[in-house]
Amino acid sequence: MALVFSHTATDPVRLTDAMRSVFVELLVHGPLSRAEVARRLALSPSALTKLTRPLIEAGYLLEASGEEGPATVGRPSQPLQVDASRMSFAGIKLTADELFAVRTDLAATVQAETSRPLAGHDIDHVLGRITEAVEELTVPGRPLSGVGISLAGTATPTDPVVHTSPFLGWSQLPLAELVERAVGVPTVLDNDVRALTAVQQWFGEGVGHSSFALVTVGAGLGCGLVVGDRLVTGQSGATGLIGHLQIDDRGPLCERGHRGCARAYASSPSIRRSIATTIDRPDLTFDDCLALAADGHPVARRVLDEAGAALGQVVATVANLTGPELVVLSGESVHMYDVCAQAFHTALAAHTHWTARPVRVAVKPFAFNEWARGAAVTALQHLLLHR
Amino acid sequence: MALVFSHTATDPVRLTDAMRSVFVELLVHGPLSRAEVARRLALSPSALTKLTRPLIEAGYLLEASGEEGPATVGRPSQPLQVDASRMSFAGIKLTADELFAVRTDLAATVQAETSRPLAGHDIDHVLGRITEAVEELTVPGRPLSGVGISLAGTATPTDPVVHTSPFLGWSQLPLAELVERAVGVPTVLDNDVRALTAVQQWFGEGVGHSSFALVTVGAGLGCGLVVGDRLVTGQSGATGLIGHLQIDDRGPLCERGHRGCARAYASSPSIRRSIATTIDRPDLTFDDCLALAADGHPVARRVLDEAGAALGQVVATVANLTGPELVVLSGESVHMYDVCAQAFHTALAAHTHWTARPVRVAVKPFAFNEWARGAAVTALQHLLLHR
DNA sequence: GGCTTTACTTGACAACGCGAACAAATAACC
DNA sequence: GGTTATTTGTTCGCGTTGTCAAGTAAAGCC
């Protein structure tokens, strides 16, 4: 089930490790000259001529001869770039009651999307909807190179099995194997937050950073870590479980009975619930609550200040412990940042260890299909690197 | 300043990457047959014959032909092991008022130790005491292969500069360069907790685990992380700063004005102070306090229960975030574990994320010279792997 | 005493990447 | 406007590294 690099069926390109690393370098770091790639990978210029030739001949790399850079001394360089259209990947995010799917190219650009409601969690039903979605996304005559599936729970790309998924009620389910058999395309699983981290690592804010953290806010809180250029996968895939980090011991209750945990302060359902029940307007949406806070409504203002402060403390804890170069904020409700930035940064500074440099924080707007895109990138990354 | 592998001055062994990895595998994982090393490193058996021959001829590897394993079918294997006596390293731990130093062999066995009081923190004085200690530890005619220096603060082995060291009042001090010039031996710096983590990684509880965390208790709290077989070095060397992790918001004050932070609950000075002042016996030592708690004295009992609970919460936070296979407890006051194990495990279980498997915890008794030994291992690791 | 199993060694060979020499394409300089 | 400097990229030969296949060694099994 190796990723096939070929221009004709009879003449496949055999990928060596060096070719792979050149390809990934060009995919992630955009058009680069051979000379530049050679420097970055500590290879000789001649090695690059040899390594790139078969990839160019097979059409996976393009000589982007068009653009001229700023005039410089010496022979002008000839930038190479990956032809992103040469492969497609499907990414599928599973939630308790719906499935979101996208098709992306090699550069993780979304080219099609779809979704399916999930009427239940029995595997045959879910498998059926996944197969439908993949078939809908597949262009006839252009088979997918990989399928990625992400979900909340413990799963890793190295392993075709969902260890546990509380919201889907699964445990030890060999989902990747089943999907792979059903759709005939190599399939990779991963935790949803880690998948989102993979997007940032190769195609987002994390590019150029060998270690960073992604903190997500939404229905829950999550955290993905990249350390030494590697996405961290804990034992059986459990990492970044910051949702129930204790913020104080007198705050609101979360649904698992923790008083004052991060989730009780900063998840979007908690924020909405706090405001809506306190001012007795059960119809308020989360975004209504943000608008109220922006307008200075005292209850909404207070709840969002507390949420921002909780988030700041979470980010400080992550930064103190792992020392990332950067923390990226994302998730369905990152836009709450605009309403609570001050409280966030105050708490972040207060909880950053006094001997540590302040960590840089980047806020990444969240697109609706980002979770599914993450799943596609997981597949892409894992199939490019490990097969 | 590369580490020299030679049996005569005229015939040095040029270490290739593969030879290095074989050597390290044998150093860390004890006597192994060639066949076993080949399997572990994904090399062919013939490669191992070739790679080990020069190392055996030069005397760095020994054929431990003596011991017989359990009788098995096939030709018996011929275990190889590193001759630990072939190199020595000095390790030095700097504190605000003293310097502890050890000499170890390649297997990190301590063979000599010494110390010096530090009358001040000006670099010439400290450099003088370091040089004295190194000279005292050096056996005439057997030069050291490396010197490691560890201290509280931000420093990394890749960098000869102490970025900041609050307790010594240093910042941006090129200590490794200065020591290297003074004693004529390659010198490596690192943070003290990371150095201790290196010991566990290669010669302690961490052997065989690709990811684990070390949590230390003593005058402060610290944490070192190994992720994917690599010791984590944050930006400019700041990681594992768990000392001021908030436990609750009504507890004791720490010296930086945090209420209820981990340090205020679980550091040995805080524990001693809480008990000694409350029962008005300022002469009590930390160990007296442990004894009181063990005897059931209500004040001491309560303080140690709270300390154990704080430590449990810290370990849970580390485990939730990074998903280690194992957490090792160590530090000058780990023996407090015996008096507060129950509170520790209760808090650990309560704060472990509900979807995560319980993490395994190993308690590692702490020897007096362990900090200095850590510095020696830092030197050994860095010089073996990166030069 | 063969047979099987596993460990290790040997020598031929393939591949990978480097160095050196060279061609190409530009700016800088006189 | 020609020469020089500079940088990119290519070609070719070579050394290194590690694999493969074949063979040797040393045990237990029957």
Query: For B73-95, what is each residue's pLDDT tens digit?
Result: 888 889 999 999 999 999 999 99
Can you give the pLDDT at residue A386?
Answer: 85
State both tokens at A249: 């011991």
Q: Are residues B312 and B351 in contact, defined by beta-carbon separation less than 8 angstroms?
A: yes
Can you give the pLDDT at residue B9?
Answer: 45
| Percentage of residues in chain A having pLDDT higher than 70 | 95
Chain D positions with any atom < 7 A from a protein CB: 5-13, 16-22, 25-29
A9 belongs to a structural domain:
no
Can you give the pLDDT at residue A68?
Answer: 62
- Count Cα neighbours of A35 within 13 Å in the Cβ-side half-sphere: 5
B356 and A238: CB-CB below 8 Å? Answer: yes
Are both A37 and A64 inside the same structural domain?
yes
Spatial distance from the CA of A44 to the C1' of C30 (Å) = 35
Domain stop point among B36, B51, B85: B85
Spatial distance from the CA of B291 to the C1' of C30 (Å) = 89
Mean pLDDT, residues B141-149:
95
Can you give the pLDDT at residue A1?
Answer: 38
| Percentage of residues in chain B having pLDDT higher than 70 | 95
Task: Give the residue whose CA sits closest to D6 at C1'.
Answer: A74
Are both A225 and A248 inside the same structural domain?
yes
Are both B231 and B333 inside the same structural domain?
yes
Say whether A80 sits in a helix, a strand or coil: strand
Taking 50 as the pLDDT cut, the residues of chain A under it are 1-2, 7-10
Are both B78 and B52 inside the same structural domain?
yes
Distance CA B161, CA B153 (A): 11
Distance CA A100, CA A110 (A): 13
- Per CB-CB distance under 8 Å, the chain B contacts of A256 are 354
A275 belongs to a structural domain:
yes
Range 74-93, chain A: CB under 7 Å to any strand C atom: 74-76
d(CA A95, nearest CA chain B) in Å = 16
Nearest to B372 by CA among B186, B140, B219, B198: B198
β-pairing, A98-105 with B360-363?
Answer: unpaired
Query: For B176-204, what is each residue's pLDDT tens digit?
Result: 999 999 999 999 999 999 999 999 999 99
Spatial distance from the CA of B51 to the C1' of C10 (Å) = 14
- Say yes or no: Cβ of A46 under 7 A from any atom of strand C: yes
Taking the C-alpha atoms of A118, A122, A124 and A125 in order, what is their torsion angle to the nearest 10 degrees?
A: -20
Are both B222 and B336 inside the same structural domain?
yes
| Footprint on protein of nucleic strand D, Cβ below 7 A | A 33-36, 45-46, 48-50, 52, 72-79; B 14, 16-18, 42-44, 46-47, 50-51, 71-76
Please state the φ and ψ torsions of residue A163, each to the nearest 5 degrees: -70, -60
Mean pLDDT, residues B242-271:
92
B234 and A164: CB-CB below 8 Å? Answer: no
A2 belongs to a structural domain:
no
CATH number at residue A34: 1.10.10.10
Are both B243 and B308 inside the same structural domain?
yes
Nearest to B92 by CA among B71, B110, B74, B69: B110
Are both B222 and B333 inside the same structural domain?
yes
β-pairing, A98-105 with B170-173?
Answer: unpaired
Task: Give the residue whose CA sits closest to C17 at C1'.
Answer: A47
d(CA B50, nearest CA chain A) in Å = 23
Taking the C-alpha atoms of A341, A347, A348 and A354 in order, what is their torsion angle to the nearest 10 degrees?
A: 150
A1 belongs to a structural domain:
no
- Say yes or no: Cβ of A70 under 7 A from any atom of strand C: no
Helix orientation angle between B45-57 and B17-28, rounded to the nearest 10 degrees: 80
A246 belongs to a structural domain:
yes
Query: For B292-324, what is each residue's pLDDT tens digit?
Result: 999 999 999 999 999 999 999 999 999 999 999
Q: At B13, which amino acid appears?
A: V
Say whether A103 sits in a helix, a strand or coil: strand
Range of the domain at B65: 17-85
Are both A247 and A280 inside the same structural domain?
yes
State both tokens at A161: 């099995």
Give the range among A327-331, B10-14, B223-227 with minimum mean pLDDT: B10-14
A353 and B240: CB-CB below 8 Å? Answer: no
Distance CA A232, CA A172 (A): 21
Are both A187 and A232 inside the same structural domain?
no
Q: At A261, which amino acid appears?
A: C
Distance CA B111, CA B121 (A): 28
Q: Tokens 């020696």 identify what position?
A: B376
Count of structural domains, chain A: 3
A310 belongs to a structural domain:
yes
Are both B342 and B248 inside the same structural domain?
yes
Helix orientation angle between A17-28 and A192-203, rounded to the nearest 10 degrees: 80
A11 belongs to a structural domain:
no
Task: Give the residue whose CA sits closest to D16 at C1'.
Answer: B16
A320 and B164: CB-CB below 8 Å? Answer: no
- Per CB-CB distance under 8 Å, the chain A contacts of B320 are 241-242, 244-245
Give the residue with greater pLDDT, B248 vs A91: A91
- Judged against a pLDDT cut of 80, whether residue B67 lies above it is answered with no
- Per CB-CB distance under 8 Å, the chain B contacts of A238 are 323, 353, 355-357
β-pairing, B360-363 with B326-330?
Answer: parallel
Are both A327 and A221 inside the same structural domain?
yes
Mean pLDDT, residues B29-41:
94
Are both A376 and A237 inside the same structural domain?
no
Which H/E stretch holds residue A239? Answer: none
CATH number at residue B342: 3.30.420.40
- Judged against a pLDDT cut of 90, whether residue B69 lies above it is answered with no
B7 belongs to a structural domain:
no
Q: What's the angle, vertex CA B94, arms to CA B93 and CA B96, rounded to 5?
A: 145
Q: What's the angle, vertex CA A262, arms to CA A167 and CA B341, rounded to 5?
A: 90
Can you give the pLDDT at residue A75?
Answer: 85
Distance CA B172, CA A386 (A): 41
Closest nucleotide relative to residue A74's CA, C1' based: D7
